[in-house]
Amino acid sequence: MQLEQIKNSIFVTNNKKMKRVVSLLVFALLLNGCDDGDLIQEDISFEDVATQNCTTNNIIYKLKDTEALILEVVGFTFPTETKSQELDISASNRVLYRFYNGAVTSSTICETIPPATPIVVDQWTTSGGKIVINTTAVKTTNTTDNSTKITGYNHNITFKNITFVKSNGTQVYETFPFGDYVISATPLPFAFNKTLEQCSSSKQLYDYNSSEALILDIDPTLIVNEATLLNAPRTGLISDTKNKLTYRLFSGLLTGAYFCNTTFPATPAVSEEWIAVAGVANESGIVEVTTTTLGTGFKHTVVLKKAKMKKGSSDFILGENYIYGELLTTN
């Protein structure tokens, strides 16, 4: 009798344990099978993929095998100056993530009538968020004279608080890096002949050609009809008033009639203006004038040392010793 009771007790205990195990397995299966569309986070990785652009519309994009990450910003012009901007993701500023049934190429994205294949098999749209664009100048340095030139602008693009809307739910990123988009720029010409002219009343110096001018409101005490001693030039510092240095690029034909007026004429129109940063004694932004005799007159050679030109937040350096030019004078 006791043996039978012990057997029944063991059976009941084992049965309870089995039920617990089965219950746990069922719960795990239910939990694993439950998907409200937000639990599955699919990987999107285009960080190592180069950014491309369509020449006929406002689309820039990245391609990877059968996938495409597309950004369309209608009516937006990428700036040619250092600045930061934010755009709202909207019907005009769209972000799309597409999947194709074959290798995708630029013609698939850019052509008005795209090729018949590959075709889109899935597409994620976006809802809400910001497009953040941080623009900086791309520069090259001349190692001979340490001058710099702006050769382009890099636009670093990041999506903030972006929500991808997909067929089985949504996928949200607080920060999603799209990457860099570089637009090349033509360096400023600086094709001057180094022959300086001077206004009789203002004493302003200028050098120009048909499309650009480099103007120096020089301190009159630096131009004296007297030879300087060897290795002892007259010096001054660039500032916003005295020795102000201005570069202008024009959209029309520039002639000598533009200079030495009470005010500068409205035409030709100035398309770009760069102004030199104030100099620092014995370091940068220094004007040097060396005067020698030339026949019955004098030759003044003007050198700009480590002058930095600036427009907005962008800048470039003329070099260690930029020869502005030579001015001939007589008594």
Query: What local confidence, expressed as pLDDT, does residue 10 receive?
Result: 43
DSSP assignment of 25-94: HHHHHHHHH---SSS-------TTSPPEE-SSSSEEEEEETTEEEEEEETT----SSSEEEEEE-SSSEE
- Whole-angstrom Cα distance, residue 179 to residue 198? 49
pTM beyond 0.85, yes or no: no
Q: In what order do the strands lie in the sheet with 205-208?
A: 197-198, 205-208, 212-217, 244-250, 270-276, 308-311, 314-317
Same domain, yes or no: 158 and 243: no
Same domain, yes or no: 114 and 212: no
Same domain, yes or no: 89 and 167: yes
Same domain, yes or no: 61 and 177: yes
- Whole-angstrom Cα distance, residue 185 to residue 142? 17
Which domain, by its residues, includes 104?
Answer: 52-184
Q: Are 188 and 196 in contact (CB under 8 A)?
A: no
Q: Are 317 and 306 in contact (CB under 8 A)?
A: yes
Domains in the chain, number: 2
* Placement of tokens 């030199």 in the chain: 276
Query: What local confidence, expressed as pLDDT, does residue 162 receive?
Result: 97
Same domain, yes or no: 204 and 179: no
The number of residues in the chain equals: 331
Is 36 within a domain? Answer: no
Query: What's the Cα-to-Cα distance from 67 to each of 14, 78, 99, 164, rounded to whole Å?
Result: 54, 25, 5, 15
Query: What local confidence, expressed as pLDDT, does residue 189 receive?
Result: 97
Same domain, yes or no: 58 and 168: yes
> Tokens for 121?
């098999």
Same domain, yes or no: 146 and 244: no
- Beta bridge partners of residue 69, listed in sequence order: 62, 97
Range 52-56 contact pairs with CB under 8 angstroms and sequence separation of 24 or more: 52/106, 53/181, 54/106, 54/109, 54/110, 55/110, 56/110, 56/112
Is 213 within a domain? Answer: yes
Assign 159 to helix, strand or coil. strand
> Tokens for 89?
């993701």
Is 170 within a domain? Answer: yes
> Among 157, 184, 211, which residue terminates a domain?
184
Q: Are 25 and 31 in contact (CB under 8 A)?
A: no
Same domain, yes or no: 140 and 218: no
Query: What local confidence, expressed as pLDDT, does residue 4 receive?
Result: 52
- Whole-angstrom Cα distance, residue 207 to residue 214? 5
> Among 139, 154, 184, which residue terminates a domain?
184
Same domain, yes or no: 160 and 283: no
pLDDT in tens, the chain (331 residues): 444 544 444 444 444 444 444 444 433 443 444 444 444 668 898 989 999 999 988 999 999 999 999 999 999 999 999 999 999 999 999 999 999 999 999 999 999 888 999 999 999 999 999 999 999 999 999 999 999 999 999 999 999 999 999 999 999 999 999 999 999 999 999 999 999 999 999 999 999 999 999 999 999 999 999 999 999 999 999 999 999 999 999 999 999 999 999 999 999 999 999 999 999 999 999 999 999 999 999 999 999 999 999 999 999 999 999 999 999 999 8
Same domain, yes or no: 206 and 166: no
